[in-house]
Amino acid sequence: GAVVSQHPSRVICKSGTSVKIECRSLDFQATTMFWYRQFPKQSLMLMATSNEGSKATYEQGVEKDKFLINHASLTLSTLTVTSAHPEDSSFYICSARAGLGDNEQFFGPGTRLTVL
C-alpha cells in the first residue's frame, strides 16, 4: 500500500516555542492531506483539510493562526504549532489521499508532541 511518513515521531518542547511537523507521501502524489489530533483514549479529531496549492480548510474550533498548515507540494504538508502550550500536547496524525480510484486515505505514524 501507499506510504505516508511523519517527522518527527516525537518532540518535546518548552511552552511558547513553535513546532513544525512534516507529513510526506512517499510513493504517490497526494492532492489532499488531512491533519488530525488525538488525545489519550479518545478518537481522532479532524483539525484541517489541506489541498495542494491552496489554503487549508479548518474545522470549527481549530485556530488557524495557531495551527499553520502548508501544503506546498503534492508530497509534502507541514503543520506548525505556534507558541505551543501544555494543552497542545497531543498525538498529531496526518493522512493523504491520491484523489484517484477508490480515493483511499493513508495515514502517517503520528507525532507525539509534549509541551512542558
Interface with another protein by CB under 8 A: which range of 12-20, 65-73, 79-87, 101-109?
Answer: 101-109
Spatial distance between the Cα atoms of 35 and 23, rounded to a whole number of angstroms? 9
Quick check: helix, strand or coil at residue 108?
Answer: coil
Q: Is 32 in the site for another protein (CB under 8 A)?
A: yes
Q: Which of 13, 52, 70, 99 touches another protein (CB under 8 A)?
A: 99
Question: Based on the number of CB atoms within 10 Å of its own CB, is 82 exposed (0-12), middle (13-18) or buried (19 or more)?
Answer: middle
Task: Tell me the three cell numbers of residue 83.
Answer: 507558541
Q: Which of 25, 79, 106, 113 touches another protein (CB under 8 A)?
A: 106
| Number of neighbours of residue 44 by Cβ within 10 angstroms | 16
Return the residues of window 69-98 that contact another protein according to CB under 8 A. Answer: 91, 93, 95, 97
Task: Determine how β-strand 67-73 pairs with β-strand 76-81.
Answer: antiparallel
Q: Which of 46, 63, 64, 73 touches another protein (CB under 8 A)?
A: 46
Q: Is 67 in the site for another protein (CB under 8 A)?
A: no
Least distance (Å) from another protein to the CB of residue 85? 22
Task: Determine how β-strand 90-97 pairs with β-strand 105-107.
Answer: antiparallel
Catalog residues that contact another protein under the rule CB under 8 A: 1, 4, 6, 31-32, 34, 36, 42-44, 46, 49, 91, 93, 95, 97, 99, 102-110, 112
